A and B are shown apart, each in its own frame.
Chain A
Amino acid sequence: MISSKVKERAGCVIFTVAAVICVIAVIAIFVFMLIRGIPALGKIGFFDFLFGDKWSPDRLDTFETETLSGSYGIFKMIVGTLLATVGALAIGGTLGFFTAVFLAFYCPKKLKKVFSSMINLLAGIPSVVYGFFGIVFLLPLLANFAPNNGSGLLATSIILGIMILPTVVSLSKTSLEAVPRTYYEGALALGASHSRAVFGTMVKASRSGIFASLVLGIGRALGETMAVVMVAGNSVAYPDGLFGSFRVLTANIVMEMGYAGEVQQGALVATGVVLLFFVLIVNLIFGAISKRAIACGVNGKGFISKAFNKIFKRKEDRKENKQPGAFKSKLIKIKNKIGEVKDGVKYKINSSKIGAGFAIGSGILSASALLLVIGFIFVQGAPYLFTHPNLLFGEYQFNSEEITILPSIITTLMTVLLSLVIAVPIGICTAIFLNEYAQKNNIFVRLIRGAIDVLSGVPSIVYGLFGMLTFVVIIKGTSTILAGSLTVSIMLLPTIVRSTEESLKSVMDSLREGSLALGAGKMRTIFKVVLPSALPGILSAIILSMGRVISESAPFIYTMGSVISAMPSGYLDSNATLAVALYRLAGEGWYVNEAYATAVVLIVLVLGLNLLAEFIAGRLNKRLKGV
């Protein structure tokens, strides 16, 4: 009996410790970034750093130097980051919104599943592949009517736009589908056409959800690194026009870290801190909006019905309830007149039909974007893979023209393995703690949830910086696969915690109660009843994490190494993962065919894993419905 009590106790402690680790990870990231960033900020001056528009670092500046000879102002890059984000939002946000409307209301049922999973696949494509696609397809295309080689603001906006598309689409679609069907029917009953009902009622009713999806898209665009570096031009300048070269904050870090002097390095870390704060703000806004959307959606009275009232009742209410004064009635008359004119115009242009057109057009455009990215790279790369099996299976030869990516594949697998071994137990234990042990509004619980939200928003290059400042220094002083794996395992935590928690939540309480009633302890219930029922969800989270490790590159460059070298003999060697190898090959112009082929391998791996995850999640749903 005592032993079982001890067991219960130990379990509780382990789950709590796991949760604490998540919090510590967040604190550590902030602390280390600040420790390294603040001295540089102090040296440069806070305002000169944030609002100075001159970035001309001097490699020889140290903290002992009396007056710095370099200038370290990141204002141009802040502006560049914001412009790129706006551009991405204009393209990806618009397209994503209309695609979501298309998927929710216009798409034939048979096509819907295919379309949705295609859009989800877009999310799985590694960012280096997007960047590579930008270099080999988009830039040459734009160069036809650009004054330069096509790089700059427009190219960046397009690439980022495609990258945020899946985020915007999936979230908007969910919130559109969450609007009660009765609203749509009500609109029809009042005489609205299908398009009018969709745009007048459904879209308006779910606009906070749509807004939230755009905010999340902004977060993704802000943190993106490698794809932007490959197409932005990277000059420290305000972009003059659509083809002006400019630099974003993330690019600044990845560009200059390798050759940075002491103060410059501090300034780059401080750039990471600024980026972190940007993302935090975006996350806070997102949290506030989505909370409101959820709160309103649940009780059915709040925001959605208010919107509904606004559309159909407000005018009548006003007329009936208020006895306006002379001046006010005049105003109302004018207002009504404007309304009439507006209605007239609406009749002629029929904006909901235009909206419908946009929706259908966007749906097709989004799908073709995916087909274009994948198709183009496959057509160029797949044949080479078959004619040159050496690329995949060849033995590594030092200093040879014959490239093999086998060591990179092995390195990638080693990284996946180790990072999962670290992240999965911690992630699952944290989720168990949150779902099975924690009281809902405990401060500690809120702290953990906050920590996980923060972790999920941190840009991958910031993880890279953190890993470089901590794991690399502690372990060996130079980059190692171990340091890279540790870095990326922190990055995986939020995904694993969240999806595990979701699938734990979906396990019905009656199962737990039944088990407890039969005399099983809490631990036994968790391990024998709850976890097995939640297994498919957990599995698909693990598979998605594998995909994430494979497709990331920014966290690895300064922690794990970026040179394709011989087969790694252990975790203390340095090597390039597949994604990093693609970045290198795409950069070194004389290996273009190898780069295409590597991109094909990457896409196949990641998409395969995504499909597998979707399949497993699908099985979970079926099973739940079956129960």
Chain B
Amino acid sequence: MKKFLAVLLASVAIVSMAIGFTACGGEKNITVVVREAGSGTREAFDKVVTDGEHYLEEKDANGQKVYNTTDKADIQKETGNVMTKVANDVNAIGYVSLGSVNDTVKVVRVEGVAPSATTVLDGSYKIQRPFVIMTNSDVTLTARASDFLTYLKSEASEDHADETGCIYLSDPAMRANVGETAIPVEDFTAEATLPEGDKIVINGSTSMEKFIKNAMEGYADLYGTTADAIFTLDLQGSSVGKSAVKNDNAGNVIGLSSASVAEDGIDSFNVCLDAVAVVVNNNNETVNDLTLAQLYDIFSGQITKFGELG
């Protein structure tokens, strides 16, 4: 037994060293950092990035969903984790919500277009998705929750969107989800005192954290109090938010989704648009502008080194 173990150990050591040495030298492989399947950010990215023939997420001839993202990708839960990976790895490339980008990473232009309010609204920046606010349609919202909902539906949201890098939507048609009627911007005037009701529970997409925190704070300021006195914030993902809204029987849950929602029992509207920014390490000097086809090749694993981009 001990001899067997000794041999095993030795062979493991030799194999790992061999792999180590062959891997050394030459340019390192690109670390492709992506989000988990089901994430709104990933969906927005995968449905747009194409080499002209295939998309990263598509349906094959039988209607089966296919993900063409490389098997070697490093899959990260939550926006922050993607940023960390990219910020600490000079060979990494990833994508995050534009609102979450900070100076630890570098944003890449896509098809020559940098993500911004103008380029997203006119559609020239391709990788974008809506931020959706959801409430339960079968329950009567508490006075406080409905007051906050009106606030979110009003022009007040514009400032919060601007401050957090999202693109505010004023066009009623664009505010409606797929196949639904237009949703106009509502008027909001603050009540004399904070309306009655339990703490409002905010639940849903992690991508919307910055926006919603900003909005919560703005709303609390109007009533001269702090956000944590009015709200409970818990972000675990769009679908957790969705089921929280569905299970809401107290009328105090507001859900956030970073992908369009078309479901019975849920009232929803698009509060703003978000661009999904492609990010690389700050020390990466070669990559500044990528075409959708190049993005497809990188994320599907056909190009494994930045040097191969040409």
Contact = CB atoms under 8 A, between A and B. Distances in A.
Interface of A: 55-59, 67, 69-71, 90, 94, 143, 145-149, 151, 154, 199, 203, 229, 233-238, 240-245, 247, 254-261, 264-265, 351-352, 354-355, 358, 396, 398-399, 473, 476-479, 557-558, 561-563, 565-567, 573-574, 584, 587-590
A588 B243 CA distance: 26
Interface string B1-28: 1110110110010011001110110001
Nearest to A66: B63
Among B2, B201, B226, B238, chain A packs the most CB atoms within 10 A around the CB of B2
Interface of B: 1-3, 5-6, 8-9, 12, 15-16, 19-21, 23-24, 28-29, 31, 36-40, 43, 59, 63-67, 70-78, 80-81, 83-85, 87-89, 91-92, 102, 104, 199, 201, 203, 206, 209, 213-214, 216-217, 220, 226-228, 232-240, 243-244, 247-250, 253, 259
A588 B83 contact: yes
B36 A477 contact: no
A264 B238 CA distance: 14
Instruction: Give the dominant DSSP class at B's interface.
Output: mixed
A25 to B, nearest CB: 23
Given A398-B213, A563-B235, A565-B233, A255 B65 contact: no
Contacts of A57: 37-38, 65
A234 B81 CA distance: 13
A205 to B, nearest CB: 13
A284 B182 CA distance: 60
Given A147-B28, A234-B75, A588-B80, A358 B201 contact: no
Given A398-B213, A478-B201, A255 B104 contact: no
B84 A477 contact: no
19 contacts: A56-B65, A69-B64, A143-B89, A145-B21, A146-B20, A148-B31, A149-B92, A234-B74, A237-B72, A241-B19, A256-B36, A257-B240, A264-B38, A398-B213, A478-B253, A561-B236, A565-B233, A565-B234, A589-B81
Given A398-B226, A478-B201, A561-B236, A90 B38 contact: no
Given A148-B72, A233-B75, A235-B75, A261 B36 contact: no
Contact of B6 (A143, A254, A264, A358): A358
B181 to A, nearest CB: 21
B64 A245 contact: no
A398 B217 contact: yes
Contact of B16 (A242, A255, A473): A242
Contact of B23 (A55, A56, A145, A566): A145
B39 A563 contact: no
A39 to B, nearest CB: 16
Contacts of A143: 89
B71 A237 contact: yes
Contact of B88 (A254, A260, A354, A589): A589
Nearest to B102: A590
A573 B232 contact: yes
Contacts of B21: 145
B201 to A, nearest CB: 5
Nearest to B136: A477
A260 B19 contact: no
Contact of A355 (B2, B70, B91, B228): B2
Contacts of A396: 228
Given A57-B38, A58-B65, A562-B234, A235 B71 contact: yes
B50 to A, nearest CB: 17
A584 B235 CA distance: 12
Contacts of B209: 563
A91 B29 CA distance: 27
A154 B29 contact: no
A229 to B, nearest CB: 7
A245 B71 contact: yes
Contacts of A245: 71-75
Contacts of A566: 226, 228
A398 B67 CA distance: 39
Contacts of B15: 242
Nearest to B41: A259
A181 to B, nearest CB: 22
B259 to A, nearest CB: 7
A94 B29 contact: no
A589 B84 contact: yes
B253 A477 contact: yes
B65 A69 contact: yes
B67 A56 contact: yes
Closest 8 CB pairs of A and B: A258-B237, A589-B84, A566-B228, A588-B80, A477-B247, A237-B71, A145-B20, A259-B38
Contact of A589 (B6, B19, B24, B87): B87
A563 B210 CA distance: 13
